[in-house]
Amino acid sequence: MFAEVNIQEIHLTITKLFQSFPVRAEVVLQDDDQKSLPLKCPIISKIKKTGIDVFIRNKAEHSTCELCSLKNDCLAESTIIKPITKNKKVIGVLVVTPLYGQEGWLSKNFDNIEIQLDFCCEWISNKIENDDLKRENTLVLEEMIGLFSFIQEPILIVGLDGTIHSLSNNVSKEFNKSKTVLLGENINEIMSASEWLKIKNVKNQQDLKISIPSLKSKQAEHIAKVKPLLANGEIGSFLIKLTSIHDSKKKMTEQRVLYTFKDVKGTSDSIQTVVDIAKRVAPSDTSILLRGESGTGKEVFAQAIHQASNRRDGSFIALNCAAIPESLLESELFGHVKGAFTGSSGDKPGRFEMANGGTIFLDEIGDLSLHLQAKLLRVVQERKIERVGDTKSTPVDVRIIAATHRNLEELVAKGEFREDLYYRLNVIPITIPPLRERREDIPLLVEHFLKKFSRELLRSPKRLSNDVYEILLSYQWQGNIRELQNVVHHFVQLEIGDLVTMESLPKYLRDIYVNGIKIEQVDSLAVSGKRNTYVEEKDLIIELLDQYGRDTPSKKKVAKHMNISLPTLYRRINKFNIK
């Protein structure tokens, strides 16, 4: 129940406190501690249950002692017994018995010695509670140290005096110093006294920007996430997580830059023309304005342009200007300094700083307020930013790719978008066509999404019924590729069998079929007289497929030869069950 070293320390302290009195004081925390009173003394048992102290002036006159079966074994004629509590529970007693012939002294000085006894009981209780907390803290610390071996980031626990109490393995890698060497050493082995002072002054959890020499650089900028750790209500140490700003940018780049021009799916002339333009302008640092309806793939193009540019090793930072409240957007774009506004507990870099040396993608630029348009214009012109609350400018080297689905010319005419900013951003305009203008790409996109979601959802490969293909090829797709992707995800998720039927489509698409609403087709059946019958048309398609091939570019040639669109060819291949 109690550590042996604690019991010995308590016994020694109590003995010293009472050595000037003609009494014997004993702490009974376990049954075998009892010396002055017999084991299983009924009075001690009662005190442990009730928590009420007892003063026996004369054993012969005390009712419990008179009836006790152990009275002949009890050497004490008089005694004082006080309960020792922890968390309102009795965990032991303090027993005081007079030395031989000093019974009268104990009765005469009871009031004085009782104060000493109450103090001792409280001290013992606090001592045991504090020791238990220390053991718990030690166990927690040992567990934390064990967890540190699994942590990938550089993390340290540093005492108030700067002593390194614990650290993750990555601290050693980051600063090229052995873990055994750093443990127990001062934090100045890693950072300067001025940087440590910044951390030491932190009262609540916050992020700090500090410079620390690392393996990669003599002075590398880091973000230190600092959390003060309390002991007895006061700061006793600090939990510090270090993140290299360069690594942070690289990680964000790795997370966000997923696409290249190979990921732009489609063989139609309209999309290939746009890809060719984007590839030609990608190597330069010229500002680009991507235009197109929602869901056409503007961010895919932005990432592909970045990947094909000379900035591909830099960061790609994206921000949707319509997704962040106006009050926070300026800080997100340009960053802020400590104290710039309520809650700004530390310096924070904005998206432009994070994109330094790389590309920033500003989506939905048409939703930017006139106030922020003016600030953005200065960045576009001077390539300098000013953090919120700061008075100095910071140069940034970024390429700007903006995107919008809105008509900027109308916004300029209405005075809702700055004309000078419009011309600064619209250096190379690239308009991405909507899906309804490139219907021949729908089968290719459907096939791509089918494979993607079947793999991700661990489903068997699906094939589409003729009715489903008819709907997908004729629907107007107001949400463009994003909507098509959601529809394919929907039926891959819901269709149990291998054939996707109308029942697996979203309700609004099923209604188009059920209600007989058809979208006008642009294709025709103007082919030679050889195709007057079902068999003749099937034979012609097989013949042409054998001649040109069965991949998508070849099928495009077959459709052109037959004077029909690629979607119509796919429908007829499905209709005739041509393999």
List pLDDT tens digits, range 382-408: 999 888 878 788 899 999 999 999 999
In 160-238, alpha helices (H):
169-175, 179-182, 193-200
Least confident of 45-49, 86-90, 360-364, 518-522: 518-522
* 413 pLDDT more than 70: yes
Q: What pLDDT does residue 12 have? A: 85
The SS3 of residue 164 is strand
pLDDT tens, 445-489? 999 999 998 888 888 888 898 888 888 988 889 899 999 999 999
Q: What pLDDT does residue 483 have? A: 93
Please state, as a whole number, how many other Cβ atoms lie within 10 Å of the Cβ of residue 468: 26
Are the CB atoms for 556 and 267 separated by under 8 Å? yes
Kindly tell me the burial class for residue 426, based on how many C-beta atoms sit within 10 Å of its own C-beta (0-12, 13-18, 19 or more): middle
pLDDT tens, 509-556? 887 766 544 443 333 333 333 333 455 677 788 888 887 888 887 888
Q: What pLDDT does residue 521 have? A: 34
**What are the backbone dihedrals phi and psi of residue 55, each rounded to the nearest 5 degrees, phi first?**
-125, 110
**pTM (global) more than 0.75:** no
Q: Tell me which residue of 503, 522, 511, 512 sits closest to 563, measured CA to CA.
A: 522
Kindly tell me the burial class for residue 503, based on how many C-beta atoms sit within 10 Å of its own C-beta (0-12, 13-18, 19 or more): exposed
From CA 8, how far away is CA 242, in angstroms rounded? Answer: 44
Token digits of residue 245: 């700003």
Q: What pLDDT does residue 424 have? A: 94
- Mean pLDDT throughout 193-213? 85
pLDDT tens, 36-77? 777 778 888 888 888 888 888 877 777 778 778 777 777 777
Chain position carrying tokens 């100095």: 392
